């Protein structure tokens, strides 16, 4: 279907378009906004007993999920501790998949984590 179907009940008009046309319009709009593809960075994956994530100038954003039962303390920069942190990422209480997530956009520096005995997943988008 190349043309949208126009319906009218005499009060309001409704335009119904094919899903493919809608998808192409959205993708075209994103491209016009300067959208670019992202890839998953090499530092991504399951981490354990990791005290810091190195700086990455190509990083556009990162997502962490706590896979331990207790909280993780995350600091943008070095020296995270339970009394000096930017984010407290809740643990899952021992329930798989229930640990909190942290999304950080636009930060390329070092990320430190406390305690150093930990477990989390990390995805860096570049």
pLDDT in tens, 86-100: 999 999 887 777 889
CB 81 within 8 A of CB 71: no
pTM of the model: 0.69
- Please enumerate in sequence order all residues whose Cβ is within 8 A of that of 53, keeping only pairs 6 or more positions apart, or say none: 43, 62, 110, 111, 112, 113, 122, 124
**What pLDDT digit, counting tens, does each position of 1-56 carry?**
456 555 555 555 555 555 666 666 666 665 566 556 678 888 888 899 999 999 99
**Distance of alpha carbon 51 from alpha carbon 113, whole angstroms:** 5
Q: For residue 59, how far is the Cα from the chain centroid? A: 12
C-alpha span between 5 and 14 (Å, rounded): 8
């Amino acid at each position: 279907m190349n043309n949208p179907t126009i319906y009218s009940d005499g009060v309001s008009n409704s335009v119904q378009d094919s899903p493919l046309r809608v998808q192409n319009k959205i993708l075209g709009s994103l491209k016009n906004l300067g959208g670019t593809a992202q890839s998953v960075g090499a530092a991504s994956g399951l981490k354990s007993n990791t005290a810091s994530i190195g700086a990455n100038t190509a990083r556009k954003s990162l997502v962490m999920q706590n896979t331990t039962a207790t909280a993780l303390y995350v600091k943008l920069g070095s020296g995270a501790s339970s009394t000096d942190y930017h984010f407290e990422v809740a643990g899952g209480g021992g329930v798989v998949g229930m640990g909190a997530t942290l999304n950080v956009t636009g930060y390329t520096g070092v990320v430190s984590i406390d305690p150093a005995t930990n477990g989390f997943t990390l995805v860096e988008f570049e």
